Structure 1
Amino acid sequence: MLMLKNKVQAFTLLEALIALGVLGLVFATIQCMLPSFRTQAPMPLDASLRAVTYQLTAQKYTSVAVLPHQLQLKSHDGKNMTLEVVKRRLQLSGESAGQIILIPEVQDFDVQDHEAYLQLEVLGENKQRATEALYLPRAP
């Protein structure tokens, strides 16, 4: 009887393990390098201020007092909150409520009280200025 030789060439188990190891190293290197390839453009100041005013309106805050560089608010659950610049960040803070940083890198914050609305003005680190109207009901 004649035995036919198998002419099909295939990987051996050792070669397959080496290939998987090299592929794993390539994927690990790519995964470690991905964060350095991302570039995050900062949000424009006017868009950030627009988002702040939208959140204050949507969360049903009421205006308590308006000072030149500070806005005192009351939340829908009765907590007293303050919108002001602290350590170059526009933040919303309150008693026993913590703080929420709304806009980083802010030089100045100004509030003007018009009868129908409040005018918020923010001056950014790069001298960029943004103004937005805030329509909040007055606290009784």
Structure 2
Amino acid sequence: MKGHEPGRITIGEAARLTGVSAKMIRYYESIGLLPAPIRAESGYRTYGAADLHTLRFVRRARDLGFSMEAIGDLLALWRDRSRSSAQVKAIALDHVAALRRRIAELEGMAGTLSDLAERCCGDERPDCPILDDLAERPDAGTSPRP
């Protein structure tokens, strides 16, 4: 490719090597998680080894469910060699607590739906406690009816 710097690759190649779509790479650039790319003479974005490493870091953090804000904080700490591991641990433990809260919420929803499904005959009749619950309660899915 004319104007292609040695050791640099296109956005498509970066996407393939990191498992992060080109669309997400552009998004990460727009929100500052990834620095603005170097452009080839053709105007195409090009990426180097450090960019790929950052993209893999972001992808792994996303796979673990971190928010974009937390990923930004983690990236800043990763780049700061004078960081304290206590800062990183605090972010991770906050995320663990949030995940556990979400798991509890999901378990509650599953329990409610399971209870409602058990009460539903599932036959040819129109009566359905599941639909009745959804129609009557604005907080459906959080707790079963007494």
TM (normalized to structure 2)? 0.22
Structure number with larger C-alpha Rg: 1
Higher relative contact order (CA 8 A, sep 6+): 1
Larger % of helix: which? 2
TM (normalized to structure 1)? 0.22
Larger % of strand: which? 1
